[in-house]
A and B are shown apart, each in its own frame.
Chain A
Amino acid sequence: MTPTSESKVRVRPGERAIARLACLAVQPLLTRVVRRVAAQHPSLFARLGPHQTTDFLIDPVELPFALHLRPDPQALVFRAVPRDTAPQAGATIRGRFLLLLELIDAEQDGDAAFFSRDLEVSGDTEAVVRLRNALDDMDGSLAEETSAMFGTPGRAVLARLRRAYTDATKPREYA
């Protein structure tokens, strides 16, 4: 796999080190999350059709890393990657972290986020549409399930993140 052209963004040495450390720190969580989702929502893969082997780059703009997803049920990949070494993606989805999480949890509408320009997509649009529809057919909340894996501290972190996101986006939504 070759680095994406989007990795041409200049990254300062300090940022690069932080990104690598952050990737190492979150990877165990990502592995648990993706395995749990695959086990509990197997119908998700049927809606992905031929794009089970597409490489998605999910780019939460305010985090120091991006997420590489290849939703192949035979060889699931979900890993944190520094932007400057991110793989060549078939499709890229970019937005604020909590927005991306709320899209997965059906707390926000993807088309509305696209209309408002809070969500950017590039690359294979069909892959993005399939992933969106597959995730939208999931019942329950990925955020709640993930936070519950860490008990009360996990739920507290999620609540804090949501408050921060609501405060940050409120003026724009009602402008």
Chain B
Amino acid sequence: MSLAELICPAGTPAALRTAVDAGADAVYCGFQDATNARNFPGLNFTPDELAEAVAYAHARGTKVLLALNTYPPAGKVDLWRQAADTGARLGVDAFIVADMGVADYIARTYPGIRLHLSVQAAASSPEAIRYYCENFGVKRVVLPRILTIPEIRQIRREIPCEIETFIFGNHGLMVEGRCSLTNYLTGQSTNMDGVCSPASDVEYVRDADGSMSSQLAGFTIDRFGPEEKAGYPTICKGRYAAPHRPEGYYAFEEPVSLNLSRLLPDLIEAGVHAFKIEGRQRSKSYVRGVVRAFRAAVDDIKAGREANIADLIALTEGQKQTQGAFETKKWR
């Protein structure tokens, strides 16, 4: 059986302590800048906060993974290198990277620290993954959410590193690490600035009938009826009218969260080493609830018991959940 480590999100020091106390095997987090893909206002860690967080986690046997998973603009790599230097000095257990230049710098400068390949690298074939392993010593790949379990099992046989898969949270997969939809409307880049639908460009407008419109950079991207569940204000999950669908429809994806709680045994059997919970932008309440639920489930499975998964539907986007491509490629 694989280790089935539980990798949990932390957007703030308090959330990190919550994740550790709830049973995380490892916590992932980032600095308050463009070096990570959750560069949201008021979120993330200062170096001093990360130092305290590493001490807290390590004292309880939990690893800290530092996300440096955005792409530096050409010639502007200093911020990413400084972040790696700081992370190494503070004793993080691994770096999560997407960019080859960042991976190369860390591999050469800090060969003793593990490199994990972010989902933002979109490495979904054995050839691509092997390239990162052979050239940068990557020890683990976070797989894009576009593969079925049989495909994951086959990839596992053909690569020399561990596999991590998402099991819960936001399901905005598109072409991960390549999505430029936010850039198209706001001028800011998800992949280089770390901001998908920056809050400064988001506005919610309440109509007289109780409906609510989500707007990004002045463009309405969805409108929810008075009793309709809402989703994130991202373009990929917007509803659009088109000549063939004048009533409006979800052209790319839907407001829905991934929940693979029922597939955990199959993923373990397929050779997945680590399970990732998405949600650094979410609250301590979310972290506590989701980490506890999956901690209990993974422990039950490891002990040969049937997992009794807590109901997490209230925490899902649009209060809807899916097993996505892990169940079938026909999910959309």
Number of B interface residues in the complex (CB < 8 A): 43
Residues of chain B whose beta carbon lies under 8 Å from any beta carbon of chain A? 11-15, 17-18, 40-43, 198-200, 202-206, 212, 224, 226-232, 255, 281-286, 288-289, 314-319
With the chains together, A94 CA to B230 CA distance in Å?
A: 16
Contact A133–B11 (Cβ < 8 Å): yes
Chain A residues with CB under 8 A of B212: 117, 120
Whether A48 contacts B314 in the complex (CB less than 8 A), given A109-B282, A109-B283, A136-B284, comes out as no
Contact B14–A139 (Cβ < 8 Å): yes
Contact B14–A49 (Cβ < 8 Å): no
The 7 nearest A-B residue pairs measured at CB: A133-B42, A130-B42, A106-B284, A137-B12, A126-B199, A47-B42, A109-B286
Contact B42–A49 (Cβ < 8 Å): yes
Query: Does more than half of chain A's interface fall in helix, strand or loop, or is it mixed?
Result: helix
Chain B residues with CB under 8 A of A137: 12-15
Q: Mark A112-129, 1 if CB is under 8 A from B, else 0.
A: 101111001111111011
Contact A117–B206 (Cβ < 8 Å): no
For the complex with contacts A112-B285, A112-B286, A125-B200, 18 further pairs of A-B residues with Cβ separation under 8 Å are A108-B285, A109-B286, A109-B289, A111-B281, A114-B230, A115-B230, A116-B230, A117-B228, A121-B204, A122-B203, A122-B204, A129-B41, A133-B40, A133-B43, A136-B283, A137-B12, A137-B14, A139-B14
Whether A125 contacts B42 in the complex (CB less than 8 A), given A111-B286, A136-B12, A137-B12, comes out as no
Interface residues of A in 128-143 (CB under 8 A from B): 128-134, 136-139
With the chains together, A49 CA to B44 CA distance in Å?
A: 13
Q: Mark A79-118, 1 if CB is under 8 A from B, else 0.
A: 0000000000000000000000001001111111011110
Contact B314–A110 (Cβ < 8 Å): no
Report 19 cross-chain contacts, Cβ distance below 8 Å, ordered by A residue: A47-B42, A48-B42, A49-B42, A108-B283, A109-B282, A109-B283, A109-B285, A109-B315, A111-B282, A116-B319, A121-B204, A122-B204, A124-B200, A125-B199, A125-B200, A126-B200, A128-B199, A133-B11, A133-B12
Contact A112–B315 (Cβ < 8 Å): yes
Please report the number of residue pairs spanning A and B whose Cβ atoms sit closer than 8 angstroms.
105
List the A residue with the shortest CB-CB distance to B286.
A109
Contact A132–B318 (Cβ < 8 Å): no
With the chains together, A109 CA to B17 CA distance in Å?
A: 17
Contact A125–B282 (Cβ < 8 Å): no
With the chains together, A25 CA to B94 CA distance in Å?
A: 54
Contact for B202 among A109, A115, A125, CB less than 8 A = A125
